[in-house]
Structure 1
């Protein structure tokens, strides 16, 4: 092995150790939060949000036992998913989604967390049918009055959107997703989301997913019933990496 190859291998191993340590810390936080809430950690799905990080990190995380990966921009997610197509991963699209990107996302995403309008339901349905796939979709719920640029449907619109997803060809209603309001205690918002989720399950018993909680507020999310956590920084570090 030449010097360059040796240095590259050492770099990969150092990154693997870093990710393993971060993953252990996150899993310990999840276990502690579940213990405090009287919940089973097996009820929690950890989604590694790998935006701005390379496919090599996805491979390392998969080797460490991570089975769920999240991305929030199609132009980054599509090639990354293709590069990792040989891995047994579930891909989650967690960012705001433009209608004109729905066909592309439908080719690789297994779960779309950010469905917040009727036109997007129609576009994802058409994309799923074209790709011959079934997409699980979550209704993104807005939990703040003025959330410009953050997406999400008002809570009162959730039943209508959920019904549209449930009846759309190629789509399956999975549950709800939300992002906690910026700069505020996330607990009241997550409690409201749990309420919306319970009302949804009364009509659609199989829609059991509550996607809530990120690196800074996963404990509050677990306390309020979250089933899926979207963890980026706590796993991968600060977002100053260059995708390559």
Structure 2
């Protein structure tokens, strides 16, 4: 299995390199987040052994369990799924990135919890770029209030935006290009709210099927699970 994961990571990094070449970008600008949702911890260990550093989870409990079971200091843990205020206390001791901030109340809870242990958590504000009701994220009109609130925090760093495009088959990826363009434009329009702890450099967008288009449109983080770990057994 480790050979498969290593090969998958190699193939994926080649895809990222090629996409950057096409877009005139440096592959070093892209962070690959390996989303290990519902995959065993052994898969994470194998991927880490192949050089993968960043790992993402969709569920707070699964993230908590894996962080506690695998205390490898070099790993960067990302919470990429829906957030609940009452689950934040279980992740702040170890999580490095939280991608799914859609309300100020989440920042307030992270600040409260992180201040007690003197940690600073990297966060991304999630925008609903697809317009689909089932997709999480705030609206563009909400972003100013969230960023303004964030400017007063000491243990939260807002590093950029995150978005989930509509799911499409590989041959239809051009359909989601406008959604990635929208996220980049929203980011650019809100640069004026940057402060010491608010720097909107990161764009977390793009997954297995559409990451090349996302990279062409400015993604700095891509969140990939299936192309690394294979299909999930639900």
Whether contact under 8 Å (1:67, 1:90) holds in the other structure is yes
Q: Counterpart of 1:171?
A: 156
| 4+ aligned runs moved over 4 Å, structure 1 | none
Q: Equivalents in 2 of 1:23, 1:146: separation in Å?
A: 31
Hey, what's the Cα distance between the residues in 1 that align with 2:72 and 2:205?
28
CA positional deviation for 1:168: 2.0
Higher deviation after alignment, 231-240 or 151-160: 151-160
Please give the alpha-carbon distance, in whole angstroms, between the structure 2 residues aligned to 1:186 and 1:91: 27
Distance (Å, rounded) in 2 between the aligned partners of 1:95 and 1:62: 21
Give the aligned length.
Answer: 226
Summarize deviations over 1:177-217 as a string: whole Å, max 9, x none: 00002347210000000101112334317320100001111
What secondary structure is seen at the aligned counterpart in 1 of 2:200? coil
Task: Note the C-alpha offset of 1:99.
Answer: 1.0
Q: How much is the aligned-residue C-alpha RMSD, in angstroms?
A: 1.5
Q: 2:66 maps to which residue? A: 80
Matches within 5 A, 1:56-75: 56-75=42-61
Alignment of 1:37-116 (within 5 A): 37-116=23-102
Q: Which residue matches 2:180?
A: 190
- Which structure has greater helix proportion? 1
Separation in 2 of the partners of 1:181 and 1:162? 25
CA positional deviation for 1:163: 2.0
SS of the residue corresponding to residue 174 of structure 1 reads: strand
1:138 aligns with 2:124: yes
Measure the CA separation in 2 of the matches of 1:203 and 1:110: 23
Contact 2:148 2:193 (C-alpha < 8 Å) held by counterparts: no
* 1:207 maps to 2:200: yes
| Aligned residue number for residue 223 of structure 1 | 216
Residues in 2 aligned to 1:87 and 1:50: alpha-carbon distance in whole angstroms: 18
Q: Distance in 2 between matches of 1:76 and 1:97?
A: 13
1:120 positional shift: 1.3
Does the 8 Å contact 2:98/2:122 carry over to 1?
A: yes
Give the TM-score taking structure 1 as reference length: 0.88
Q: Which structure would you say has the larger Rg?
A: 1
